[in-house]
């Protein structure tokens, strides 16, 4: 049975897996709209949007990104382009607000399975297009947090300026730049204090999760998630580590659930979330270029036919399928190339 999520926005309901005690009780569902169209690819005549590394932006790009973000934050809360609505998308798809097609008792969580990469790719695709639309720049590429390289590992400076709309107060006060993120972070063990030790550890993590522990599509993308399935835990290598560690490392440990970045329902409220996920998304592209005959996209039709709904840059509700997001160039974007120090860090 093909798994297609969700049918329409009327099937979005209460987010049943919000952590207990979250006040006020939040509504994660998008503004309803019965008018849904199927996704069509952008015209090939548009130049590729290049997503740049967030720690290497020039002043002009920073100003442009700030302007787009401010405009998004200034929109009324019920506008599908508003930052509040964009943030709520993560809550809706990750805290069980949607039910599965044909299985009304099964609630959807796009994590811990093969839906992880494609869901977040589509989410960022529209987020980026909306930001570009707000500043009337269709070439705008969402900057990525290049945490897999030593210089890119700290929270990029643009997100750490309290006067910027890219700032978020709910972050760990001790994990501010220039401290580099620990890709193996855990609250139960101290991070390496010596910087060269930390870099070595980060490179080892990356090599392991991209190369040694990711030799097949299932190991890299995660386990199947089909119609009627429970929210099983079959994470791919990168989702497991370092994606999760960076969420927790960034969020404020003094909040009840490590908000904002440390919990699904609130993660999208931190603008750095989207740049974190841009780097996760970049790993998908890089993984397919690594040697090995099995480093290819999943071809299972249950995967390819899985669907999501998003408001596009014209406030049209669009149904997208996994099969249409496998090639980012067809979606009109690519990533600025930077060195991959971890690729030569075989332990």
Catalytic, 264? Answer yes
Provide the token pair at 190: 């101290």
Residue 230: how many other CB atoms lie within 10 Å? 11
Q: How far apart are alpha carbons 65 and 57 in whole angstroms? A: 10
- Torsion sign over Cα 101, 105, 108, 114: negative
Q: Can you tell me which of 55, 243, 282, 295 binds ligand C2O, judged by CB under 6 A? A: 243
Stretch 97-126 residues interacting with ligand C2O (CB under 6 A):
111, 120
Catalytic, 55? Answer no
> Please, what is the minimum distance in Å from the beta carbon of residue 196 to ligand C2O?
28
> Residue 144's beta-bridge partner residues?
53
The footprint of ligand C2O on this chain (CB under 6 A) covers a number of residues equal to 8
Q: How far apart are alpha carbons 227 and 34 in whole angstroms? A: 23
Tell me: is residue 276 an annotated ligand-binding position: no
Asked if residue 241 binds ligand C2O (CB under 6 A), the reply is: no
Tell me phi and psi for residue 265, to 5 degrees: -65, -25
Tell me: is residue 55 an annotated ligand-binding position: no
Options 126, 264, 273, 308, the catalytic residue: 264
Residue 341 burial (10 A CB sphere; 0-12, 13-18, 19+): middle
CA 171 to chain centre: 17
Instruction: Choose between 133 and 263: whose C-beta lies nearer to ligand C2O.
Output: 263
Instruction: Choose between 279 and 328: whose C-beta lies nearer to ligand C2O.
Output: 279
Instruction: Choose between 68 and 94: whose C-beta lies nearer to ligand C2O.
Output: 94
Asked if residue 269 binds ligand C2O (CB under 6 A), the reply is: no
Binding mask 26-65 for ligand C2O (x = CB under 6 A): ----------------------------------------
Instruction: Choose between 267 and 320: whose C-beta lies nearer to ligand C2O.
Output: 267
Stretch 271-330 residues interacting with ligand C2O (CB under 6 A):
277
> Please, what is the minimum distance in Å from the beta carbon of residue 88 to ligand C2O?
13
Q: How far apart are alpha carbons 54 and 271 in whole angstroms? A: 12
Tell me: is residue 81 an annotated ligand-binding position: no
Is omega for the bond preceding 24 within 30 degrees of 0, making it cis?
yes
Type and span of the H or E element at 107: strand 103-107
Contact 201, 189 (CB under 8 A): no
Options 247, 273, 308, 310, the catalytic residue: 247
Asked if residue 90 binds ligand C2O (CB under 6 A), the reply is: yes
Instruction: Choose between 30 and 71: whose C-beta lies nearer to ligand C2O.
Output: 30
Residues sharing a CB contact under 8 Å with residue 245, sequence separation 6 or more, in sequence order? 181, 182, 183, 184, 185, 186
Residues belonging to the binding site for Cu cation are 90, 111, 120, 243, 247, 277
Binding site for ligand C2O (CB under 6 A): 90, 94, 111, 120, 243, 247, 267, 277
Please identify every residue annotated as catalytic. 90, 111, 120, 243, 247, 264, 277
């Amino acid at each position: 049975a093909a798994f297609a999520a969700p049918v329409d926005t009327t099937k979005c309901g209460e987010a049943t897996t919000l952590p207990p005690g979250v006040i006020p009780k939040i509504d994660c569902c998008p503004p309803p709209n019965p008018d849904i169209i199927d996704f069509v690819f952008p015209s090939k005549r548009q130049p590729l949007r290049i997503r740049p590394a967030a720690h290497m932006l020039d002043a002009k790009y920073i100003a442009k990104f700030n302007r787009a973000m401010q405009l998004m934050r200034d929109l009324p809360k019920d506008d599908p382009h508003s930052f509040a609505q964009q943030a709520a998308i993560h809550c809706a798809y990750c805290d069980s607000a949607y039910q599965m097609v044909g299985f009304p008792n099964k609630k959807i969580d796009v994590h811990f399975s093969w839906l992880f990469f494609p869901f977040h790719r589509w989410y960022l695709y529209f987020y980026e297009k909306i930001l570009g639309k707000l500043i009337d720049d269709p070439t705008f590429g969402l900057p990525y947090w290049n945490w897999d390289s030593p210089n890119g590992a700290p929270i990029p400076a643009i997100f750490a300026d309290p006067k910027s709309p890219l700032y978020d107060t709910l972050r760990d006060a001790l994990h501010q730049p220039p401290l580099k993120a620990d890709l193996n972070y855990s609250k139960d063990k101290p991070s390496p204090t010596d910087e060269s030790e930390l870099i070595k550890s980060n490179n080892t993590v990356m090599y392991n999760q991209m190369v040694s522990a990711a030799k097949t599509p299932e190991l890299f993308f995660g386990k199947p998630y089909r119609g009627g399935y429970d929210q099983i835990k079959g994470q791919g290598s990168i989702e497991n580590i370092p994606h999760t560690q960076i969420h927790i490392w960034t969020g404020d440990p003094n909040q009840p659930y490590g908000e904002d970045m440390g919990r699904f329902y609130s993660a999208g409220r931190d603008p750095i979330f989207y740049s974190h996920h841009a780097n996760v998304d970049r790993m998908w592209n890089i993984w397919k270029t690594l040697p090995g005959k099995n480093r290819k996209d999943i071809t299972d039709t249950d995967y390819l036919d899985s669907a999501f709904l998003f408001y596009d840059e014209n406030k049209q509700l669009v149904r997208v399928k996994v099969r249409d997001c496998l090639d980012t160039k067809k979606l009109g974007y690519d990533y600025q190339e930077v060195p991959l120090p971890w690729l030569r860090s075989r332990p």
